[in-house]
Chain A
Amino acid sequence: MYPREFEYVSAGSIAEACQALSDNPGAKVMSGGMSLIPMMKLRLLSPELVVDIGGIAGLGGISDNGDHVSIGALVRHADVASSSMIAEHATALGEAAAMTGDVQVRNRGTVCGAVAHADLAGDAPVAVIALEATMVAQSVRGTREIAAADFFVDTLTSALEGDEILTEIKIPKRSGKSSYDKLGRRGGRTDYAVAGVAAYVEMSGGVVVDCTVAITGVGAKPALASGVMEALQGSTGDEAAVAVAAARATEGVTLLEDLYGSEAYKGHLAEVFTKRAVAEAIARA
């Protein structure tokens, strides 16, 4: 179907895009268009104005900024999946990007766009939570930084205000290692996550000294698995310790049934993939 009629502006700069959003409440930002366009075509969403940031120069790079790696608003999933810098400092995000959509989607869709879209079964959102990334939001009112753990508010709802653009994701360089794994709707690691877990673990002297774990696909939003983190912290990270921690995967999560899993199954998968992702991160750490 065609979308309802809308105005379109191709912004030449972030400032111009921010101004357009400020002047037109309800306007939507488009980068790759992989989520926005289907929703508009199904008329689930009918913005009066689409602000296309795809033509803005300088937003398409992954850069090493000393203590953190920066991902610009127009960096594609495919770029992240194949970046050696990401593989080294943000392994979980690289893996999440490689498991997102299909080749066409990965070549067109952006990581920032997917994060801002805040799909409850998205891959990148949990990776940025586990990596304790910072989201940089820009608007005519200025620039602010939001911790990834606070960014995902509800289903398809992020902490971004209507006039803000997610211009950059900053991932701190840390000494631990990360991992992402999931079961996709079409089986294996294809398609949206039925359940997916990103884990970051830092080991020292045979003990887990730092860890962050986040789960996607099973509840209303991608979220931190605080119970898992609490149990893991200070443990040896051996198989038994990981199992004990994974048993707490759904603590505080309201499980949602969908076409791909009952609440019981989703809860079970959350545990299984917590084990897998955490064990892999520990093996790498």
Chain B
Amino acid sequence: MAATTSALGGVVKRSEDPALVQGLGYYTDDVNPPGTLHTAFVRSPFAKAKIVSIDRADALAMDGVLAVYVGADVEHLGMLPAQVAIRPRPLLPTSAVAFSGEAVAMVVAKTRAIAQDAVEAVFVEYEEQVPVISLKDALAGEKLAHDDAENNMVITWEAGPFGDAEAIAATKATIAEAKAREDTVTVSLEMINQRLIPVAIEPRSVIAEWHKGYRRFRVHSSSQIVSALAGAIAKVFDLPNSSVHATAPEVGGGFGVKLNVYPDEILVCFASQQLGEPVKFTETRREASVNSIQGRGWQATASITGTSDGKILGYELEGIADMGAYTQNFTAAIPFLGLFIGSGQYTMPTHWKIDCVLTNKAVTDAYRGAGRPEAEYYLERIIDAFAREVDVDPAEVRRLNFFEKFQDAVTPIGFQMDTGDYAMNMDALLDKVGYEDLKSERDRLRGQGRLVGLGLATYVEVCGFGPSGLVDLGFSWSEYNLPSAFNGTGLLKVTPDGKATMSIGTGPTGQGHQTTWAQIISSQTGIVMDDINIIVGDSKSSPEAIGSFGSRSVAVDGSAAFEASTKVVEKAAKIAAHLLEASAEDIKFADGAAHVAGSPDQSVTWAEIAKSAYQPHLLPEGMEGGLEAFAVFSPGNATWPFGTQLAMVEVDPHTGDVELLKFWTMDDCGNVISPMLAAGQVHGGVTQGIGQALFEEAIYDDAGNLLTTSLMDYLIPTAASLPMFNTDHTVTETHVNPLGAKGIGEAGTIGSAQTVVNAVVDAVAHLGVKHIDMPLRARRVWEAMDEAKGA
């Protein structure tokens, strides 16, 4: 990269890419210290069963097998630490398995091949039981996911407003009154937001090494949250946090699946302690599918009551969310994230109730968007259905019911939002694409018998968590031995050579953080980007770090980087002023040096400033040596980005095959730090939403077997299935952080599934189709058309 500085908002190329695109990146599975032992897991073929016996003799007798551990061997370590641990997960179960694919034994061997062979030599006798698979069965509670429980309930999230029983009753009464009015219509749809498998291109991998003499663990893990991992290991093994050093080398995609501490991450530590060698586990694609967390999994009925001119008087959502067999990190809190935006961009009274239930399936947790795609899906689908019912343009219905431009407005659910200007944003997209012309074009093509549809969806989301006061809601990270809530942290140090090193609390998984943080630091300090070294994903450098998830990195840790830069610049200005015999107020930083305003030839480089900082006799009298600053940033609120998406599709009337013709986005994430990287986030996010809309589904059979365990059966979108995306944005700054920036990582996903479904339903609505559940594979669309024809 050229030796340049960059302003915020400047287009810069990713400094990460030269290594990555040449295949020279260094990932966890590349970490192979001498003596490394390898693991493989014996996994249950049953969704629910009692473990009668485990015979490991044959496996232990194999050459190269060092150990086979079962539940009883690790029971003393306790359960897997988790943040909302309502039904905690065992490290290895001792008496019963609760989902197909759950590990019951861990083999440790000299090679991975031997370990995998030895798995076949471990004989487990199970007593199969009837599993709970469907959400309605789970809610009914006649069958139990766990025999020791009274029912399958985990928690119910109900709002209108949040948590206040009297207010909930009043909201329900208001909506009932609206329904009873003669001049209103009520539209209801029961819809499934299907389970998804988060497909990171790099499956999870972890290697742990116990240094017996120092009583320390050295851990590498493909994780979004290495400091929490270090804390969890410290807690389980009763060590101080500083005795566990966890780092994430390059991480090849996360999407939430790596926002968890898994049993295998603890078990490799245990095995290393027992065997005295480094121990590694790298999951297979099949294991990534059956064992690591999945996302979504809701079944709910959405209803809107409104008048014939499109004014909405009430919105209700009632349904069930699938937790899977246990609660891991955020499992039970995911629907709560949806509840934050339960009433979306709109002002209508809202009653929102989601029952979270246990089933005998893989655990669900955060998957890109985490609760918010589900919430917006139901809302934007039912608004579309309502618009069709009252025959008012879907954009007009939205405009009629939006919040007006605001700062610090409170939603009908009871949460305070930062800033928003929804109509402005939607109109920016509609004007850009020529909405009326597009509708005419659609109608013209439909006149020729072609099933062309337009789908519009707007969204608001909540991200960039968050205020440290979230601790009071129970999200304290204390289960991971971390003291902090959701703070951002950044330690910026200018070294004696005048170059900068930033240790920052994020755990990137491919977003381009190194580039973005360098851009923020460069913009404030004038240090050229090549001279800025970024340390991410390191529990020793950032022991208090939370990590990367929930589109929080720029808004929270980026703000910490900004504040740390500001502090360093303040001190550097004083040093420069001293060296140049000028006033600190007149010092400006640019192009790697400090200049005196108005006298451009009067300047000192960062190297000269740094040299003075480390030779305190050169400093102004009374100034401490060193040139570094640490910032802990707690924002005033989460950020509430919003946006509009529009899709044009064509359905093959004979096969139901959906072709996505065009896709436009108009996001508003406040100030954009790095436009190319932000657009990249939208492209990836939209692709994952389209994946849910058209292709992806984790399918379990009635016995609880996952039928989609490979990428041959679990269909992710490919470039060949996608149109060129047309992305754009408006800017509505937030005041809750100094960058004025909101998150963008999940926006694309949160808005896109419903955009596509709205478009497909628009294409076939005149045939009598009201809704089709995702994924809209050709089969489903054809069946819906066929059924409507028969009706």
Contact = CB atoms under 8 A, between A and B. Distances in A.
Interface of A: 1-2, 4-5, 38, 42, 102, 183, 185-188, 190-192, 194, 259-262, 265, 268-269, 272
A42 B112 CA distance: 15
B721 A186 contact: yes
B659 to A, nearest CB: 7
Given A186-B718, A265-B782, A268-B782, A259 B658 contact: no
Interface string B283-318: 010100000000000000000000000000000000
Contacts of A191: 715
Nearest to B659: A188
Interface of B: 112-113, 116-117, 284, 286, 654-655, 657-659, 694-695, 699, 707-708, 710, 712-713, 715, 717-718, 720-721, 777-779, 782-783
12 contacts: A102-B718, A186-B715, A187-B721, A188-B720, A190-B718, A194-B778, A194-B779, A259-B713, A260-B777, A265-B779, A265-B783, A272-B654
Residue of B112, B655, B657, B708 contacting most chain A CB atoms (<10 Å): B655
B729 to A, nearest CB: 29
Contacts of A5: 113, 117
B779 A187 contact: no
A2 B285 CA distance: 12
Contact of A185 (B113, B710, B715, B783): B715
A188 to B, nearest CB: 7
Contacts of A2: 112-113, 116
Nearest to B717: A186
A185 B721 CA distance: 11
A190 B720 contact: yes
Contacts of B783: 262, 265
B695 A183 contact: no
A269 B779 CA distance: 10
Contacts of A190: 718, 720-721
Contacts of A4: 117
A187 B707 contact: no
A1 B721 contact: no
Given A183-B778, A187-B658, A262-B779, A42 B694 contact: no
A265 B785 CA distance: 12
B720 A102 contact: yes
A262 B783 CA distance: 10
Contacts of B710: 38, 42
Contacts of A259: 699, 707-708, 713
B284 A1 contact: yes
A261 B779 contact: yes
Contacts of B718: 102, 186, 190
A218 to B, nearest CB: 12
Contacts of B708: 259
Contacts of B658: 187
A188 B782 CA distance: 14
B23 to A, nearest CB: 15
Given A1-B116, A259-B707, A183 B715 contact: no
A89 B284 CA distance: 44
A185 to B, nearest CB: 6
B655 A272 contact: yes
A185 B711 CA distance: 12
B702 to A, nearest CB: 15
B659 A187 contact: yes
Residue of B659, B718, B779 contacting most chain A CB atoms (<10 Å): B779
Contacts of A262: 779, 783
A187 B699 contact: no
Nearest to B656: A265
Given A187-B657, A259-B699, 11 more contacts: A1-B116, A2-B112, A2-B116, A185-B715, A185-B777, A187-B659, A191-B715, A192-B712, A194-B779, A261-B779, A269-B655
Nearest to A194: B778
Contact of B655 (A38, A42, A183, A185): A183
A183 B658 CA distance: 11
Contacts of A42: 286, 710
Residue of B112, B654, B659 contacting most chain A CB atoms (<10 Å): B654
A259 B708 CA distance: 9
A10 to B, nearest CB: 21
B733 to A, nearest CB: 40
B105 to A, nearest CB: 16
A167 B712 CA distance: 28
A192 B711 CA distance: 12
Contacts of B707: 259
A188 B657 contact: yes
B720 A183 contact: no
Nearest to A266: B779
A260 B783 CA distance: 12
Contacts of B721: 186-188, 190
Contacts of B113: 2, 5
Nearest to A276: B654
Contacts of B715: 185-186, 191
B451 to A, nearest CB: 14
Residue of A2, A187, A260, A269 contacting most chain B CB atoms (<10 Å): A187
B779 A260 contact: yes
A269 to B, nearest CB: 6
A98 B721 CA distance: 15
A237 B489 CA distance: 73
Contacts of A183: 655, 657, 778
Nearest to A2: B113
Contacts of A188: 657, 659, 720-721
A42 B695 CA distance: 23
A188 B655 CA distance: 10
Contacts of A260: 777, 779
A269 B655 CA distance: 7
Contacts of B657: 183, 187-188
Nearest to B660: A187
Contacts of B720: 102, 186, 188, 190
B106 to A, nearest CB: 15
A4 B708 CA distance: 23
Contacts of A102: 718, 720
A278 to B, nearest CB: 14
A102 B712 CA distance: 12
A283 B694 CA distance: 33
A150 B658 CA distance: 36
A247 to B, nearest CB: 14
A2 B120 CA distance: 13
Contacts of B116: 1-2
Contact of B694 (A38, A187, A265, A268): A187
Nearest to A4: B117
**Nearest 7 CB-CB pairings of A with B:** A2-B113, A272-B654, A1-B284, A261-B779, A265-B779, A186-B715, A183-B655
Contacts of B655: 183, 269, 272
A227 to B, nearest CB: 20
A190 B699 CA distance: 21
Contacts of A38: 710, 712
Contacts of B713: 259
Residue of A185, A186, A194 contacting most chain B CB atoms (<10 Å): A186
Contacts of B654: 272
A187 B775 CA distance: 11
Contact of A187 (B117, B286, B712, B778): B778
Nearest to B715: A186
A156 B658 CA distance: 30
Contacts of A272: 654-655
A188 B660 CA distance: 10
B289 to A, nearest CB: 12
A1 B777 contact: no
A5 B779 CA distance: 40
